[in-house]
C-alpha cells in the first residue's frame, strides 16, 4: 500500500521557519500580487497566498486589474513595483487573458523581485522545481540513478527547471506529452512520475512501475470536487503519492514565500 506525501505538514514546517526568521530578525518584507480579470480559480489562489503571507508576518498587496487591461498598462504597473523599495517580490497570477503578452510581462519583472523564478536567467530557483525536489526528498527514498518522467501538456516549457534540479540528485529525466506514442512504455520504466496535464484520474495502476513515486500537479474542478491527474487506486502499486488537494498546492505557496525572502536578501546585498 502506497504512502501519502503530506504536503500540508511540509508546508506548515516551511511557514513556521519563515515566520520565525521574519519575527526574530525584524524583517519588513512585502510581496505584490497582480491579478488580471475575474477568473475564480486565480482569485482563490491569490487569496490563499495572501492568507499564508499574513500568517508569517509578510506584507501582501493585491493589485486587481480589469479583464481588458492591455500589455502596456500591465508593464507600467510592473515598472512601478520594480521601483518601489517596499516591494521585495512580485508575482503575476497566471494564466493572463489571451490578449496579454505573458512573456513580455514576466521578462519585465526585476530579476531580484521575480518571486516565481519564471525568468530564464533568474537568480532564484523556479518555485515548482523546488516543490518537486522538496516533496521527493521528504520521502527519504534514495534518488541517485532513479528515472523520472515529467508528463505535461507543454513539456518543453514546464520540464527543464524540474529536470535541472533533479539532475543535481543524480536523477535521469525524460519529458513527454500525455498523447505521445511512447508514453506508456516511458511510464512503465519510470521510478518517479511528475504529472501536470489537467486530466482527472488519468494515471492508473496499470500504467505505472511497481513502487513508483507519483507527484500529482494536475488540478481539475468537477462540481464541488477538486481532482488530480493520478487515480487514488495507484496506491496499490506506487510507493508514494501526493494527494489533490493537500499535496503540491500548500508546498507551492510556502516555497513562493520562501523565494520572496530570498528576493529580500538579494536586494539587501545589492543595496
165 is in an annotated binding site: no
Q: Give me 204's grid cell.
A: 492508473
191 close to 136: Cβ distance less than 8 angstroms: no
Among 94, 115, 136, identify where a domain stops.
115
> Are 138 and 226 members of one domain?
yes
Task: Tell me if 256 is assigned to some domain.
Answer: no
The radius of gyration of the chain from alpha carbons, rounded to an integer in Å, stands at 19
Tell me which residue of 39, 29, 105 sits closest to 268, measured CA to CA.
Answer: 29
152 close to 196: Cβ distance less than 8 angstroms: yes
Task: Tell me if 267 is assigned to some domain.
Answer: no
pTM of the model: 0.96
The reported pLDDT for the residue numbered 271 is: 52
- The DSSP result for 200-260, as a single string, is TT-B-GGGS-TT-EEEE---EEETTEEE-SB-GGGGGT-SEEE-TTTSHHHHHHHHHHHHH
> Are 77 and 188 members of one domain?
no
The reported pLDDT for the residue numbered 270 is: 65
**Domain ranges, residue 147:** 127-249
How many distinct structural domains can be found in the chain?
2
The pLDDT-based confidence of 67 (bands split at 50, 70, 90) is: very high
> Are 97 and 175 members of one domain?
no
Among 115, 145, 180, identify where a domain stops.
115
The answer to whether residue 164 scores a pLDDT higher than 90 is yes
pLDDT in tens, 201-253: 999 999 999 999 999 999 998 888 999 999 999 999 999 999 999 999 999 99
The pLDDT-based confidence of 41 (bands split at 50, 70, 90) is: confident
Task: Tell me if 260 is assigned to some domain.
Answer: no
The pLDDT-based confidence of 120 (bands split at 50, 70, 90) is: confident
Mean pLDDT of the chain: 97
Task: Tell me if 64 is assigned to some domain.
Answer: yes
> Are 229 and 155 members of one domain?
yes
The reported pLDDT for the residue numbered 98 is: 95
Task: Tell me if 268 is assigned to some domain.
Answer: no
**Which residues lie closer than 8 Å to 215 by C-beta, 6 or more apart?**
5, 132, 135, 136, 192, 193, 194, 195, 242, 247, 248
Amino acid at each position: 500500500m502506497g504512502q501519502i506525501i503530506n504536503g500540508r505538514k511540509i508546508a506548515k514546517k516551511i511557514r513556521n521557519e519563515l515566520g520565525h526568521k521574519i519575527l526574530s530578525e525584524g524583517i519588513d518584507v512585502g510581496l505584490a500580487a497582480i491579478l488580471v480579470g475575474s477568473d475564480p480559480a486565480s482569485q482563490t489562489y491569490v487569496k490563499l497566498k495572501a492568507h499564508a503571507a499574513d500568517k508569517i508576518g509578510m506584507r501582501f498587496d493585491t493589485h486587481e486589474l480589469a479583464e481588458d487591461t492591455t500589455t502596456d498598462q500591465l508593464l507600467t504597473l510592473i515598472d512601478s513595483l520594480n521601483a518601489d523599495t517596499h516591494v521585495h517580490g512580485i508575482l503575476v497570477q497566471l494564466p493572463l487573458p489571451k490578449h496579454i503578452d505573458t512573456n513580455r510581462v514576466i521578462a519585465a519583472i526585476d530579476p531580484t523581485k521575480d518571486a516565481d523564478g519564471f525568468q530564464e536567467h533568474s537568480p532564484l530557483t523556479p518555485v515548482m522545481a523546488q516543490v518537486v525536489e522538496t516533496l521527493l526528498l521528504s520521502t527519504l527514498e534514495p534518488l541517485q540513478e532513479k528515472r523520472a518522467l515529467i508528463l505535461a501538456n507543454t513539456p518543453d516549457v514546464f520540464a527543464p527547471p524540474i529536470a535541472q534540479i533533479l539532475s543535481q540528485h543524480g536523477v535521469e529525466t525524460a519529458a513527454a506529452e500525455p498523447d505521445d506514442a511512447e508514453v506508456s512504455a516511458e511510464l512503465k520504466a519510470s521510478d518517479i512520475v511528475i504529472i501536470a496535464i489537467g486530466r482527472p484520474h488519468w494515471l492508473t495502476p496499470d500504467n505505472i512501475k511497481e513502487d513508483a513515486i507519483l507527484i500529482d500537479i494536475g488540478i481539475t474542478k468537477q462540481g464541488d470536487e477538486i481532482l488530480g491527474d493520478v487515480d487514488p487506486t495507484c496506491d496499490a502499486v506506487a510507493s508514494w503519492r501526493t494527494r489533490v488537494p493537500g499535496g503540491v498546492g500548500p508546498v507551492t505557496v510556502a516555497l513562493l514565500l520562501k523565494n520572496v525572502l530570498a528576493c529580500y536578501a538579494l536586494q539587501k546585498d545589492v543595496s
